[in-house]
Amino acid sequence: SQQGEEDPQALSIQEGENATMNCSYKTSINNLQWYRQNSGRGLVHLILIRSNEREKHSGRLRVTLDTSKKSSSLLITASRAADTASYFCATAFSWANQGGKLIFGQGTELSVKP
């Protein structure tokens, strides 16, 4: 399998519910980032968590990172119809190693029904 795999591939929930997306990766990283992409649009950075952090919050977003399991989760609480988008995790390596390039996962397509 490849660096940055996510599950589920698609998630459909009702407005107000929480959405949880998971990401797994294979090699050591410097940090892991989550991006959102609305259909046919660009990528919007949501949150970054460093390898020495375990949890991070930003508004309705909560990200966890378990480096021993090489996995991360993104929780969106109290979801809204406007959260409907694809969500990607992306891993970044040390600058000494690979100059900051991002390796993206396959993404989770989230649909929030009003």
Partner 1 sequence: EPEVTQTPSHQVTQMGQEVILRCVPISNHLYFYWYRQILGQKVEFLVSFYNNEISEKSEIFDDQFSVERPDGSNFTLKIRSTKLEDSAMYFCASLYRGSSYEQYFGPGTRLTVT
- Check binding of 48 to partner 1 (CB under 8 A): yes
The Cα–Cα gap between 33 and 41 comes to 18
Using the rule CB under 8 A, which residue among 79, 88, 108, 110 binds partner 1?
88
- Check binding of 105 to partner 1 (CB under 8 A): yes
On the CB side of 42, CA atoms within 13 Å amount to: 2
- Check binding of 61 to partner 1 (CB under 8 A): no
**Cβ neighbours of residue 15 closer than 8 Å, sequence gap 6 or more:** 79, 80, 81, 112, 113, 114
Segment near partner 1 (CB under 8 A), from 8-16, 17-25, 61-69, 97-105? 97-105
Alpha helices in 1-114 (DSSP H): 95-98
User: Which residues bind to partner 1, rule: CB under 8 A?
Assistant: 4, 30-31, 33, 35, 40-45, 48, 88, 90, 92, 95, 98-107
